[in-house]
Amino acid sequence: MQSVNAVAVRGKDGWCGTVLPPPHNDPTHVRVRLENGEEYLVPAAVVIPQQDGSVYVPLRVAEVVPAPCEEPADILSAVVPVLAEELEVQKRRVETGMVRLTKVVHEREVQVDEPLWREEVEVTRVPIQRVVDGPVPVREDNGTTIISVVEEVLVIEKRWMLREEIHIRQQRSEIHQPQQIILRSEEVQVERVPHAEEDT
């Protein structure tokens, strides 16, 4: 490496100074004096000459060794600390707000009109007055239930006489009875409650 004595020097973190003669002509180190007067030993291997005649040291002030006030007779060896930055990531829970849920019940009136069936019985008495051989069983005729009413009468001989018939007809009609029915439905309203830190 060519001599860099009495030339300007600039460090990695912006520090500036001047290169001095090495201690005891030690070619492995360069003695640097900063603008504030402090002196440090820099390994000559890391000194980079620049085109403008100055030199650059890719080290921070914390990475160089302060030069002793009295140099020992032996060759000083510089210790270059190697630093490494580590990233520590932490998480924490931050409350940004609250949500209030309000349930509202709505009522609405609807009209219900469902068909209902009502049955009525119509009873008709039909006089017959006819002689029969005996009791007449109940019979159906076109949806009409016919019940025969007989009695015994005294004649020259005893015979069955049909006095009358009772005709029962079943009628079915459809009716409507509208009614007002109340139906309920639920609705949820969401309201954001500001956090205490947001109000400040």
In a domain, 198, yes or no: no
Which value, to the nearest 10 degrees, does the dihedral of the CA atoms of residues 4, 6, 12, 13 take?
Answer: 170
Beta strands in the chain (DSSP E): 8-11, 16-20, 29-34, 39-43, 48-49, 55-57, 65-66, 97-112, 115-132, 139-141, 144-153, 159-176, 179-194
Range of the domain at 168: 98-193
Task: Kindly indicate the confidence band of residue 77, based on its pLDDT and cuts at 50, 70 and 90.
Answer: low
In the predicted structure, residue 148 carries a pLDDT above the cut 80: yes
Q: Specify whether the CB–CB gap between 63 and 48 falls below 8 A.
A: no
123: in domain: yes
Whether 1 has a pLDDT exceeding 60, the answer reads no
Looking at the 3D structure of the chain, how many domains does it have?
2
Higher pLDDT, 12 or 6: 12
**Which token pair is 33?**
């004096």
Q: Work out the pLDDT band at 2, boundaries 50, 70, 90.
A: very low
What three-state secondary structure class fits 179? strand
Per-residue pLDDT, 4: 46
Over residues 82-89, mean pLDDT: 76
Question: Is 141 within a domain?
Answer: yes
pTM, to two decimals: 0.32
pLDDT over 70 for what percent of the chain? Answer: 83
Residues 59 and 112 in one domain: no
- 58, amino acid identity: P
**Could you tell me how far CA 101 lies from the centroid of its own chain?**
15
Is pLDDT at 70 greater than 60 in this prediction?
no
